[in-house]
Structure 1
Amino acid sequence: MTRFRPGFALTPVQEEANRLLGGVARHILLRGGSRSGKTFVLIRALVVRALRVPHSRHGVFRHRQIALRASVIQDTFPKVMRCCFAHVRYKWDGQSNRVLFANGSSILFGGLDDSTRTEKILGLEFATIYLNEASQISYGARNMLLTRLAQRCALRTREYIDANPPTTDHWLYALFEAGVEPRSGLPHGDPGLYASMVMNPDQNRINLSDAYLHQLDALPERERRRFLFGEYQSAVEGALWRMDMFRRRAAVSEETRAAIIAEMRRIVVAVDPSGASGPQDLGADEIGIVVAAIDHAGMAHVLEDCSVRDTPMGWARRVIQSAALWQADKIVAERNFGGALVEATLRSIDPAASLRMVTASRGKSARAEPVAALYEQGRVAHHGRFAELESQLCLFSMRGFGGAASPDRADALIWALSELMLEPQAVKGRWQDQGWFSLSR
């Protein structure tokens, strides 16, 4: 039985987190404000697991080793041992950055910023992995660590994560809050395996000074909401799109494509050209190519992001092929870049293509706003998750586009949905209430 120092007690929110850690979920995120006790609770849980089952292995990982050493190895871990496990003796192995317990269990502390160190991690298996400050860790690095969550012992393997909430385009938001796999956008196969909980500094007030809490309260609003209230932030202030606005359906497969096409009233391929000379022209923007449709109920569907960086003939061929694959009614192309050259290039591949050239007479924000309103109304669904496209959308605000490069993919989507949902469409003649026949189109 694990014994704790006399007089030591967790705060109520830490007790609640402790119960969550002992539940059925396999992947657990503790997110919240600064100094709320997240790291303390998770390190304590790791030690409990290590002491419970002999020869079990556990790992604590952070983006940079130097930050892990300063915040966890030299601060939180010794504090946890003094407060909760004063009777337990352990050995620190500085060469391997491991804590060794008398029962043969160990906790490895590793930074992911060094390839040699990462290779050593890949040679081990763990019963628990803990991602400290995961907002700084990439989704690819997290998935690499999951392959090491494979030690066979009496413990159920678990992934522990803590983070000050990042922006809503981060993989943590998709995985734990939106409930979808960050790359495909598909819902979790078993949502019960994922759990998240908010821990904020006010709930840890007994261990903090009033001066520190006042300091957090005095931060600018964006930082205040993140570090005091533990809230996710939009990628830009006043963003027109947020990650929680994207309604999702299953990504299109070869098996489902024909059925989806049959459901749609109109399908278009929109292209936003750039001056790229070829795939190796990394200094140029990509050519945004997006396939979208509208069904008979008036719902819009984003079906595919085919964007590329290629020669004019290369991207034109991609556009024509996408139009054929999706049986598109029309290709919508922006003429601002290259003018007549864009149309000529497309027609050189397919002279009979149904093509509409459009001109950007308004600023990007003005064109984006009515399309963002469609998302706000729940009138657009994404078939899968289009990570790069959605990240670009979340960088639009009333003040324009906040990204470093051009929103090539987002521009193509805006043209496509404007054509389908916002432009006046031809309608059949019909009797009006006034009693006269209208041939308006």
Structure 2
Amino acid sequence: MTFKLTPKQEAQVSLISSDATHIMAYGGSRSGKTFGFVRAVLIRALAHKSRHAMLRYRFNHIKASIVLDTLPKVMELCFPGVADNCKLDKTDWYYSLPNGSEIWFGGLDDKERTEKILGQEYATLYLNECSQIPYASRNMAITRLAQKTPLRLKAYYDCNPPGMAHWTYRLFVERRDPDRRTPVANPGNFAAIMMNPKDNEANLDPKYLEELQSMSESMRRRFWLGQFADVTDTALWTLELLDQQRIVDGELPDMVRIVVAVDPSGVSGEEDKRSDEVGIVVCGLGNDGRGYILEDLSGRMSPADWGKAVVSAFDRHEADCVVAEENFGGAMVQEIIRSASADSSRKVGGQVPYRPVRASRGKIARAEPIAALFDQQKVSLVGLFPEMEDQLCAMTTAGYVGSRSPDRADAMIWGLASLFPAMTKQNAGPNGARSPVVNLGYKSMKRKRA
């Protein structure tokens, strides 16, 4: 079959060919943005002997998404046979082409790796998933867009749109300096194009498109419609903050502790639309000292059903305990988990290990130290959690501004608070001493039990 660009990718090519040096493609998920820019870099590299760099915030992410996925696809479809004479150096991680051109791959979060890559000059820089990349890191990379070749210097950028406060919006949509908020000196040097999944539907499974359209409204606007979010300056979490540490591909570290956190509600079952959902979130502590959000099982379930869901998650993730907020229901919550424990393959003393927690402060006071963990880049979302992310972004210093209770967010906060007890006063031990996180010597998801 002959390869053919989509009409929107042809428009992307036209923008790439313009006089603008800085070109961004933003929009929904799997809209062909990355494919178009990887193809453009290869065309330039094959045209003249030159050096190019493809960068992302984390190296493991660019290795999985571009080096081992998009790049081989582009070579096969657009440059058949050329790959036979190319070589991927897996020590320094660069791709050499038959004419001597090189494409280097790097993560901007690795200081040693970054210094090595940025010790060279490039004819093209491609910053992938810019919502994860801090503006200072972008500026540092741009200083290396300086290789003198017959090619015009070009910088490519792509992203699923974060909030309007992000530097991508200010630089490419408002055409303003993100730091000084003043108009850029040469607005014609910056160009942008919106590319959405609908533009690439010929290459996508219809069920995937249906999934995107059925997401929550804010996630639908971002991943289907490709719109930047209008976020408040008082938000504890923003889309770019969640994106910066998100893991969609790549390996996780070994987990030293895993908890299933529960935020109960009075919901009677799936048909009970008036009550809030039961928040059920699985959180892990890696041997790297960072927190990981592994699964969100929240929903409208009867007490028996959510008890089974909790115990099933406990067994599946080989968790250490269940943490449940007991302000609502108190002993009833423990009884639901005790009853469901009969089905557990890993119960201890007749039930799964359980620890109740009690809210002594308001939601925002509990949320602020956990939001600080995200600011300190100590927590990663493992995948997309649309409903929970909506709730997190609706938490502000002035209060929760969402339409319903932040049940999923509350469960996540309880889970992380149990993994990082020094962040919360309610976990203080005798005389105010902090309870340490216990490292039980576990390995990955299969951990040795006493």
Name the TM tier (shorter chain).
0.5 to 0.7
1:87, CA displacement in angstroms? 2.5
CA distance in 2, matches of 1:169, 1:396: 16
CA distance in 1, matches of 2:154, 2:203: 28
Aligned match of 2:321: none
Does 2:63 align with 1:63? Answer: no
Aligned match of 2:101: 105
Amino acid at match of 2:67: I
Aligned match of 1:212: 208
- Equivalent of 1:25, from 20, 25, 30? 20
- Equivalent of 2:119, from 100, 123, 129? 123
CA distance in 2, matches of 1:144, 1:401: 37
Query: Which structure's CA Rg is the greater one?
Result: 1
Kept in 2: contact 1:33–1:164 (CA 8 A): yes
Does 2:82 align with 1:85? Answer: no
Describe the shift of the 1:12–1:238 C-alpha distance in structure 2 as closer, same or farther (beyond 3 A).
farther
Amino acid at match of 1:26: T
1:235, CA displacement in angstroms? 2.0
In the alignment, structure 1 segments of 5+ residues that lack a partner are: 1-5, 240-393, 403-441
Question: Does the residue aligned with 2:125 lie in a helix, a strand or coil?
Answer: strand
CA distance in 2, matches of 1:399, 1:106: 51
Amino acid at match of 1:74: L
Alignment of 1:3-42 (within 5 A): 7-42=2-37
- Paired residues in the alignment total 243
Q: What per-residue deviation string (whole Å, max 9, x for no partner) do you get for residues 344-373 of structure 1?
A: xxxxxxxxxxxxxxxxxxxxxxxxxxxxxx
Question: Does the residue aligned with 1:178 lie in a helix, a strand or coil?
Answer: coil
1:226, CA displacement in angstroms? 0.1
Question: Does the residue aligned with 1:66 lie in a helix, a strand or coil?
Answer: helix
1:94, CA displacement in angstroms? 0.6
Amino acid at match of 2:171: L
Does 2:66 align with 1:72? Answer: yes
Describe the shift of the 1:186–1:26 C-alpha distance in structure 2 as closer, same or farther (beyond 3 A).
same
CA distance in 1, matches of 2:71, 2:232: 36
CA distance in 2, matches of 1:26, 1:12: 22
Structure 2 length-normalised TM: 0.52
Amino acid at match of 2:51: R
Aligned match of 1:260: none
Question: Does the residue aligned with 1:102 lie in a helix, a strand or coil?
Answer: coil
- Equivalent of 2:155, from 146, 159, 165? 159
CA distance in 2, matches of 1:399, 1:151: 49
Describe the shift of the 1:148–1:36 C-alpha distance in structure 2 as closer, same or farther (beyond 3 A).
same
Kept in 2: contact 1:236–1:396 (CA 8 A): no
Q: What per-residue deviation string (whole Å, max 9, x for no partner) do you get for residues 231-250 of structure 1?
A: 001225999xxxxxxxxxxx
Alignment of 1:17-416 (within 5 A): 17-54=12-49, 56-88=50-82, 89-236=85-232, 400=399
CA distance in 2, matches of 1:42, 1:108: 15
Structure 1 length-normalised TM: 0.53
Describe the shift of the 1:401–1:93 C-alpha distance in structure 2 as closer, same or farther (beyond 3 A).
same
Amino acid at match of 1:77: L
1:112, CA displacement in angstroms? 1.2
Amino acid at match of 1:191: P
Describe the shift of the 1:157–1:395 C-alpha distance in structure 2 as closer, same or farther (beyond 3 A).
farther
Amino acid at match of 2:43: V
Amino acid at match of 1:69: K
CA distance in 2, matches of 1:40, 1:177: 22
Kept in 2: contact 1:125–1:148 (CA 8 A): yes
Question: Does the residue aligned with 1:72 lie in a helix, a strand or coil?
Answer: helix
Describe the shift of the 1:238–1:216 C-alpha distance in structure 2 as closer, same or farther (beyond 3 A).
farther
Q: CA RMSD in A?
A: 2.3
